[in-house]
A and B are shown apart, each in its own frame.
Chain A
């Protein structure tokens, strides 16, 4: 089979190859990660000391808003879609994604969407400044002019995500190699399949929410305006009906990654495969009935609060099962600590810390003290940075040799890991304390009693930001400078999965044109 690749720019513009598209997704998300990170640096610089030092409060709000939007929709989600593109066809023995042309569109919509979103920073009246949750009426009646562009950008991102998700579902259901039954699929495929269902279910709801915003702003409807018989709280219900499953959309693929990496380096099969599948599915199901725990302070009836509190606490059960299963996988294994394993372990530990604060936040009476403070900021950064992003980094280190045929620089990677782990905790752990002490979210300035913790967070954040440049260098060395020793076909001593056992390193441009034999 000829390993034929088109050349030049048109290769990337018109490609329908899942590996090319996966690469583009990953590169794009890394660029967005740096853009969103730069915004975080502005935020942390302003918060280094009390008093207004660098930016005006309104610009600060634009930064927090854009940081959230860019990281959620631009960095984390495309990164996992990139991994799905690269890995799912190889893992299930398919020649490509089921809908290659749609795959191309769903990627190329993204740069347009983010070009539009980022261009609002240069518009008259400034970029969206109402937080990534864009609560009405701050975003409707009181939103800046650029809000309409933001709405359009969200629509585009939604379309891109929905097409990506449909592609994954169709691929997984129709393209598996003979013998690859559903319950033989790698966990990563399972978690992504469930993620894709979540995406198909909730991205349209988000599209509905922003459409209602658009008509409220420009066409005289009043979905969210009490004057015309609407209700601003309705916006929060619609938003969080999307928003809570969205949290799992970001984290489930990382669960799959940890479930691939830990068995490899523990040299032992994943413990409780089927319970992992059921746990993931029940987390996804529960994510649909807990949304109002984001809005305990809006004045719901007690019965509603009780329902959402209990449903939320229930999520801890399947999540706990996953964590225990990972530990049981390691138990009496034969463990080595290469960088992907280090990241996967850090993911398990630090994600669990985020899970603990999640259980605390679920308790409604106490949530009234935590709500909208830095305690919440600490919580969701623990599940997102050392959770979703460490998971993605683990995946990149783990599969990079398979993608490029070269090993990354293990020494630099270890530095990247250890310094990241110090800085990530230095950044986000103190936020628990400043939040409990009473510091509210989304403020450019604060009372002096929060000074120490904020300074720690800022120092940690600058270090963490710097570390990502090191990460960029590690990747450039392998991918562009083509340095590093050749990877074996198996890459890791006991790596399982078709991509390691059936394919050479680097994986050729076209793989599994004839389906592999699965026993």
Chain B
């Protein structure tokens, strides 16, 4: 093999390898949506599909599942945030409505965003929300309070081993920074 031929081969191969590198960079970023898809299928981090539609159905009256509602404030979120009902018992297949109370006790307009999380985490896929405040941001004026509804039903095919579902909402402060400066 001649010198030139070797150098040519080297160039071709180097290019191929750089393509591999670029593909792997893309793969690194693709892990973000892949992870989301994985989480949606399994309900791993509470990120399940958006709104569900409740179809009239015969509830499974033989089973009763305890649903615990919890609220968590992120450290820099000064609002009051609590479930009005902390615990209810539900029959799979029946639709229920619960309320969450929120109050902005600061002197300025703020925006909050609630993010759900389930425990055991795999139960998320059986928990269908037909209406939820968590799909929108909450904008509250200074001192304003609100009771926010959440409607849901639990799938009838939830495995027997789950007797309790805990649904925790973490409230984050997503007020844009310049808003806060403006109001000060």
A: residues with CB less than 8 A from B are 98-99, 102, 162, 166, 169-170, 173-175, 200-209, 212, 223, 226-229, 231, 233-234, 237-238, 241, 299-301
Q: A99-B10, A174-B6 are in contact. Are A201 and B20 (CB under 8 A)?
A: yes
Contacts of A99 in B (CB 8 A): 10, 14
Interface residues of B in 57-83 (CB under 8 A from A): 74
Contacts of B182 in A (CB 8 A): none
Are B10 and A170 neighbours in the complex by a CB distance under 8 Å? yes
* B54 at interface by CB-CB < 8 Å: no
Are A174 and B174 neighbours in the complex by a CB distance under 8 Å? no
> Sorted from nearest, which 10 A-B pairs have the closest CB atoms?
A208-B28, A227-B172, A204-B24, A205-B28, A204-B25, A98-B10, A166-B17, A170-B13, A174-B9, A234-B35
Are B174 and A228 neighbours in the complex by a CB distance under 8 Å? yes
Are A301 and B172 neighbours in the complex by a CB distance under 8 Å? no
Q: How far apart sit A138 and B72, CA to CA, in the bound complex (Å)?
A: 19
Contacts of B10 in A (CB 8 A): 98-99, 170, 174-175
Least CB distance from B16 to A in Å reads: 9
Other CB < 8 Å A-B pairs besides A200-B21, A205-B25, A208-B31, 12 of them?
Answer: A166-B18, A170-B13, A170-B14, A175-B10, A200-B17, A201-B24, A204-B22, A226-B172, A231-B47, A238-B31, A241-B31, A301-B42
Q: How far apart sit A169 and B14, CA to CA, in the bound complex (Å)?
A: 9
**Closest chain A residue to B121, Cβ basis:** A299
Q: How far apart sit A242 and B38, CA to CA, in the bound complex (Å)?
A: 19
| Contact for A207 among B9, B25, B39, B42, CB less than 8 A | B25
Contact with A along B37-58 (1 / 0, CB 8 A): 0010010110100000000000
| Contact for A227 among B20, B39, B113, CB less than 8 A | B113
Interface residues of B in 149-184 (CB under 8 A from A): 170, 172-174
Interface centre among A212, A223, A227, A238 (most CB of B within 10 A): A227
Contacts of A212 in B (CB 8 A): 29, 32
Contacts of A204 in B (CB 8 A): 21-22, 24-25, 27-28
Q: A166-B14, A166-B17, A200-B20 are in contact. Are A227 and B74 (CB under 8 A)?
A: yes
Q: How far apart sit A238 and B172, CA to CA, in the bound complex (Å)?
A: 24
* B122 at interface by CB-CB < 8 Å: yes
Q: How far apart sit A335 and B122, CA to CA, in the bound complex (Å)?
A: 58
| Contact for B32 among A226, A234, A301, CB less than 8 A | A234
Contacts of A98 in B (CB 8 A): 6, 10, 13-14
Contacts of B173 in A (CB 8 A): 227
Q: How far apart sit A99 and B12, CA to CA, in the bound complex (Å)?
A: 12
Contacts of A227 in B (CB 8 A): 74, 113, 115, 172-174
Contacts of B39 in A (CB 8 A): 231
Q: A204-B28, A223-B32 are in contact. Are A229 and B18 (CB under 8 A)?
A: no
Q: How far apart sit A170 and B13, CA to CA, in the bound complex (Å)?
A: 6
Can you give 16 A-B contacts (C-beta < 8 A)? A98-B10, A102-B14, A166-B17, A169-B17, A170-B10, A170-B14, A174-B10, A201-B24, A204-B22, A205-B25, A223-B32, A228-B113, A234-B32, A237-B35, A238-B28, A241-B31
Are A173 and B27 neighbours in the complex by a CB distance under 8 Å? no
Q: How far apart sit A226 and B113, CA to CA, in the bound complex (Å)?
A: 10
Least CB distance from B100 to A in Å reads: 17
Q: A174-B13, A229-B47 are in contact. Are A208 and B25 (CB under 8 A)?
A: yes
| Contact for A162 among B9, B21, B35, B115, CB less than 8 A | B21
Q: How far apart sit A201 and B17, CA to CA, in the bound complex (Å)?
A: 10
Least CB distance from A337 to B in Å reads: 41
| Contact for B31 among A162, A237, A299, A300, CB less than 8 A | A237
Q: A201-B20, A227-B115 are in contact. Are A301 and B44 (CB under 8 A)?
A: yes
Q: How far apart sit A169 and B13, CA to CA, in the bound complex (Å)?
A: 9
Contacts of A201 in B (CB 8 A): 20, 24
Q: How far apart sit A204 and B25, CA to CA, in the bound complex (Å)?
A: 5
Least CB distance from B31 to A in Å reads: 5
Contacts of A175 in B (CB 8 A): 6, 10
Are B45 and A205 neighbours in the complex by a CB distance under 8 Å? no
**Closest chain B residue to A178, Cβ basis:** B1
Q: A226-B115, A234-B35, A237-B35 are in contact. Are A207 and B28 (CB under 8 A)?
A: yes
**Closest chain B residue to A162, Cβ basis:** B21
Least CB distance from B50 to A in Å reads: 12
Least CB distance from B33 to A in Å reads: 11
Q: How far apart sit A102 and B18, CA to CA, in the bound complex (Å)?
A: 13
Are A202 and B24 neighbours in the complex by a CB distance under 8 Å? yes
Least CB distance from B80 to A in Å reads: 18
**Closest chain B residue to A166, Cβ basis:** B17
Contacts of B6 in A (CB 8 A): 98, 174-175
Contacts of B31 in A (CB 8 A): 205, 208, 234, 237-238, 241
Are A205 and B14 neighbours in the complex by a CB distance under 8 Å? no
Are B29 and A208 neighbours in the complex by a CB distance under 8 Å? yes
Q: How far apart sit A472 and B42, CA to CA, in the bound complex (Å)?
A: 55
Q: How far apart sit A205 and B29, CA to CA, in the bound complex (Å)?
A: 8
Q: How far apart sit A208 and B35, CA to CA, in the bound complex (Å)?
A: 15
**Closest chain A residue to B113, Cβ basis:** A227
Q: How far apart sit A98 and B20, CA to CA, in the bound complex (Å)?
A: 18
Interface residues of B in 88-133 (CB under 8 A from A): 113, 115, 121-122
